[in-house]
Amino acid sequence: MNRSLTSNASILVASDNKSDADVVQRLLSTDYPNTITTTDSDQASADFDQHRPEVLVLVFKELEKSQRYYLGLYREDCAVQLQPHRTIVLCGKDEVRQAYKLCREGIFDDYTLFWPMTIDSSRLPMSVCLALRELASLRVSSPTAADFAAQVRRLATLEKMLTDQLAQGDNRIEAIGQAVTHATNHAASALENFSQRLIQGNLEDIVAVNSADKLQRELGQLKRDAIEAPLHTLTRSVNPLKQWTNEFREANNTHLESLRTLNSLANTIQPSLLIVDDDEFQHKIINSILKEESYNLMFAAKGSEVFNIVRNSRPDLILMDIMLPDINGVEIVKQIKAVSRLAKIPIIMITGESKKNFIMASLEAGARDIIVKPFVRDILLEKIKYSLDNP
């Protein structure tokens, strides 16, 4: 990882004991000079807003205090919910198992045994390094595998387009050849008819023919020079075009084969969908509709769960209910769209309300589309596919 990124990283050490906070700050400041401490719980939200840390280190001698501090911060401050950061909790030897459990449940991201102090003084800086490395992978500049897959699927239509266009070209070249042949035959027939009329004396009141043989030879030469030779030249001029289309088709076969391989790989990548609804029955309905599709489904029942998910990952599409128990779905859309890393995620509102004010508020907040419950299966699938293919 780029060392300049780690040296500029903002690390916030939160504690209720200044001595402990100072010890941790000294431990981290060599590798992370931008390490700040905060020991005033009343200033927790303000300190987080001011420093916008990438890593929050909780230094409380009881896990319960760390948990209470972080959950309180999470409830009070929207910045905590959407600011990409990782949380490392320090614990004593008697609380290691509990710390592990809390990390598994997603309350914290990592833990470090800190009391009593051990000889492994690099353990905490290493945990910070790993946290920063994980955050770096979520930067907006790093497109997801699903982003690439969506573009490859769009490129897959290129093969059909090229095949169709080449087929049209072949048809037009063939039409030109047929037109040339028809024109040659028509002109030759007209000239032959004219020559026969002359030779047979049908036009003696216009032209007197002294030698039918000489006239026939001259008319034959005229046919060859004025009709057959130019039309033969025109016919030959089409041949390079036929050759070019054949060579173009052969030259592109290798590239098209690579495109087919890419498309096959793209089809193995499952776009991730986040479904947000406080009704578990709706989760089951959506799951039953989408279970046969190639989607990785995540579910959330309230706003805080949404923020926790998008803080740690980036879903490819969000289906968002409007009425949630803790925060309005429209407000969640606004907050997601305000974060550059998340702003391009397409969001489809799912609601039982079809009132104009709900629809307008959702669209103004940045939602891509609206689906009114109860769901029509084909419409839901079509809207999801369109949004994923056109992010």
**Among 132-136, 160-164, 237-241, the least confident range:** 237-241
Tell me, what's the pLDDT at 5? 55
pLDDT beyond 70 at 209: no
Q: Which fold has domain 272-389?
A: Rossmann fold (3.40.50)
**pLDDT above 70: percentage of residues in the chain:** 95
> 31-50 b/e with 16+ CB inside 10 Å = b?
bbebbbbbbebeebbebbee
- Asked if the domains at 3-137 and 272-389 fall in one CATH topology, the answer is yes
Residue 145 has pLDDT above 80, yes or no: no
Question: What's the predicted TM-score (pTM) here?
Answer: 0.59
Q: Identify the pLDDT of residue 259.
A: 78
**Burial letters 212-222, b for 16+ CB under 10 A, else e:** eeeeeeebeee
Indicate if the pLDDT at residue 21 is higher than 90. yes
* Range in 67-76, 252-261, 267-276 the model is least confident about: 252-261
Most confident of 153-162, 227-236, 302-311: 302-311
What's residue 219's pLDDT?
Answer: 74
pLDDT at 79: 67
Query: pLDDT value at position 279?
Result: 94
Backbone angles phi, psi at 331, to 5 degrees: -65, -35
CATH code: domain 3-137 is 3.40.50.2300
Distances from the Cα of 191 to the Cα of 164, 222, 232, angstroms: 41, 9, 17
The domain ranges of the chain are 3-137, 153-266, 272-389
CA distance 24 to 58: 10
Q: Give residue-wise pLDDT tens across range 108-130.
A: 999 999 998 767 889 999 999 99
- Beta-carbon contacts of residue 255 (< 8 Å; ≥ 6 apart): none
Tell me if 348 sits within 8 A of 385, measured CB to CB. no
